[in-house]
């Protein structure tokens, strides 16, 4: 798919901004703090309805105007061509953030989504319509940061195309809150241990769906990376993603070294029902420990996955360049996987992607991404990093406050 038009109103630093796009590679040039990243953020927002860079939707509203006005509407609107039934069809999407400051000072931001001009009842209905793959330098923390970032990343990637995963996540979270509340109250209230069982059953049911999907997806990602040669980082180094399901291993247990490719993690159940049974059984076994700790100590909310290069954990032993390469591999795989599961080639959004990479890696990265998407937006402060030889037929734009100007 590719965007043909993007319109922003009161989105972050932009008051009115619009531009008409063609397919192909668009390089957006500008000095720092002009809104280059914001532009990519807007594109990605249309596919996930949440931002990797904002904790709260209100951060996306133009702050100068929000301070002056008690009521403000932020709009991100796009027209795009999407592969449907073997040809491109023109579709439209608009996300509105309705910002209100109440008389008591409380701020509320409400989200609305319109598809082809018709308002949808829930955001979920419009998930997966726009597909993008976003790379931000900030995302390097996915490789070396806390497991929570990697779980969030998995959820961001999987949920839009898998409604049953999104539903399992939401039900799991609710059941988890209920069991944790019970664990905390236990010492004061005591009562019947059978009260735990229904929540453990629910946790096992939805948790197994989440873990099974994550397991399948990571295996598929490893396969795609190997098939395309994206997992070979140079100098004979091979990258592999390893799923670490929280099924009751000790937290400090060593990551298995040098696992052969595609081999499922040892002792991971062979079917969804088996996984559900195992999770249910482990939850019951863990009950005494969970009671002492006051929270649930296993399940997909404690999952992790690691980047292993030739068997070594990249977060511990990797260089910055390797981490960047690993993250780029992940992004390429994500793009290929979206195409495989939905038949739609995502729009590739790359923020300062070539910084910190040597010339050979720059060329490989750009070639791989160009070969993949129908449209690619890249931002840079250094247009020299994108020579004609590396990126042919490149559209170069200077970013302005109301749109883009050809350079």
Partner 1 sequence: MPVLPEPIQRLMQALERLPGVGPKTSARLAFFLLRHLPLARDLAQALEDLERVTLCRRCFHLTEEGQAFCAICRDPRRDPATVCVVEDPLDVLALEQAGVYQGRYHVLHGVISPVEGVGPEDLRIRELLERIPAEGIQEVILATNPSLEGDATAMYLYERLKPLGVRVTRLAQGLPSGGDLEYADPLTLVRALMGRQEMA
Can you give the binding site for partner 1, defined by CB under 8 A? 163-164, 167, 171, 174-175, 177-179, 181-182, 185, 189, 191-192, 194-195, 197-199, 201-202
* Residue carrying structure tokens 């929570």: 148
63 alpha carbon, distance to own chain's centre: 25
Q: Which two tokens stand for residue 305?
A: 């996955």
Residue number, 7 or 199, with CB nearest to partner 1: 199
In the complex, what is the shortest distance from the CB of residue 171 to partner 1, in angstroms, rounded to a whole number?
6
Query: What secondary structure, in 3-state letters, does 375-389 show?
Result: EEEEEECCHHHCCCC
CB of 272 to partner 1, least distance (A): 13
In the complex, minimum distance from the CB of residue 167 to partner 1, in angstroms, rounded to a whole number: 6
In the complex, what is the shortest distance from the CB of residue 162 to partner 1, in angstroms, rounded to a whole number? 10
C-alpha–C-alpha distance, residues 400 and 119, integer Å: 31
Nearer to partner 1, 188 or 235 (CB): 188
Residue 195 beta carbon to partner 1: minimum distance, rounded to whole angstroms: 6
Centroid of chain to Cα 66: 28
Closest approach, Cβ 202 to partner 1, in A, equals: 6
Question: Which of residues 204 and 329 has its CB atom nearest to partner 1 in the complex?
Answer: 204
Q: By C-beta, is 101 or 361 nearer to partner 1?
A: 101
Closest approach of partner 1 to the CB of residue 109, in Å: 19
| Residue whose C-alpha is closest to residue 78's, from 141, 131, 153 | 131
List the beta bridge partners of residue 185: none
Cα–Cα distance for residue pair 96/73, rounded to 1 Å: 7
What is the rounded distance in angstroms from the CA atom of residue 221 to the CA atom of residue 371? 18
Check the CA dihedral 269-222-347-404 and report its sign.
Answer: positive
**Nearer to partner 1 (CB atom), residue 310 or residue 342:** 342
Q: Which helix (H) or strand (E) holds 25?
A: strand 24-29
Neighbours of 113 (CB within 10 A): 22
Least separation, in Å, of the C-beta of 206 and partner 1? Answer: 9
Q: Which is nearer to partner 1, 77 or 202 (CB)?
A: 202
Q: Between 155 and 180, whose beta carbon lies closer to partner 1?
A: 180
Q: 285 phi and psi, to 5 degrees?
A: -65, -35
CB 133 within 8 A of CB 348: yes
With respect to partner 1, which residue has the nearer C-beta, 100 or 201?
201
Q: Is residue 372 within 8 Å of 336, Cβ to Cβ? A: yes
From the list 34, 14, 88, the residue with the least C-alpha distance to 6 is 14
Closest-CA residue to 346 (of 43, 38, 30):
43
């Amino acid at each position: 798919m590719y965007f043909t038009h993007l319109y922003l109103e009161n989105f972050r630093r932009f008051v009115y901004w619009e531009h008409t796009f063609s397919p192909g590679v668009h390089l957006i040039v500008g000095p720092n703090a002009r809104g280059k990243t914001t532009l990519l953020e807007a594109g990605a927002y249309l596919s996930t309805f949440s931002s990797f860079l904002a904790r709260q939707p209100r951060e996306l509203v133009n702050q100068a105007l929000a301070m002056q006005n008690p009521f403000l509407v932020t709009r991100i609107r796009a027209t795009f061509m999407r592969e449907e039934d073997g040809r491109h069809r023109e579709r439209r999407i608009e996300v509105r953030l309705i910002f209100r400051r109440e008389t008591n000072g409380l701020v509320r931001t409400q989200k609305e989504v319109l598809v082809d001009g018709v308002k949808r009842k829930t955001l979920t209905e419009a998930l997966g319509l726009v597909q993008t793959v976003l790379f931000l330098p900030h995302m390097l923390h996915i490789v070396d940061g806390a497991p929570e970032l990697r779980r969030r990343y998995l959820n961001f990637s999987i949920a839009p195309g898998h409604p049953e995963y999104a539903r399992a996540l939401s039900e799991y979270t609710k059941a988890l809150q209920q069991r944790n509340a019970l664990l905390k109250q236990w010492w004061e209230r005591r009562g019947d241990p059978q009260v735990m069982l229904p929540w453990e059953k629910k946790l096992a049911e939805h948790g197994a769906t989440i873990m099974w999907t994550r397991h399948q997806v990571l295996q598929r990602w490893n396969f795609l990376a190997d098939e395309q040669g994206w997992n070979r980082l140079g100098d004979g180094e091979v990258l592999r993603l390893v799923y670490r399901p929280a099924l009751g291993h000790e937290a400090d247990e060593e990551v298995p070294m040098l696992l052969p490719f595609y081999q499922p993690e040892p002792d991971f159940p062979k079917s969804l029902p088996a996984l559900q049974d195992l999770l249910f059984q482990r939850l019951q076994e863990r009950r005494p420990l969970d009671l002492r700790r006051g929270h649930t100590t296993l399940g997909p909310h404690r999952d992790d996955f690691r980047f292993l290069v030739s068997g070594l954990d990249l977060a511990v032993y990797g260089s910055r360049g390797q981490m960047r390469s690993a993250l780029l591999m992940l992004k390429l795989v994500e793009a290929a996987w979206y195409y495989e599961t939905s038949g739609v080639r995502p729009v590739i959004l790359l923020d300062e992607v070539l910084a910190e990479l040597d010339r050979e890696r720059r060329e490989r990265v750009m070639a791989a991404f160009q070969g993949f998407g129908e449209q690619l937006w890249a931002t840079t402060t250094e247009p020299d990093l994108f020579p004609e030889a590396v990126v042919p037929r490149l559209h170069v734009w200077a970013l302005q406050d109301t749109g883009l100007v050809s350079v």
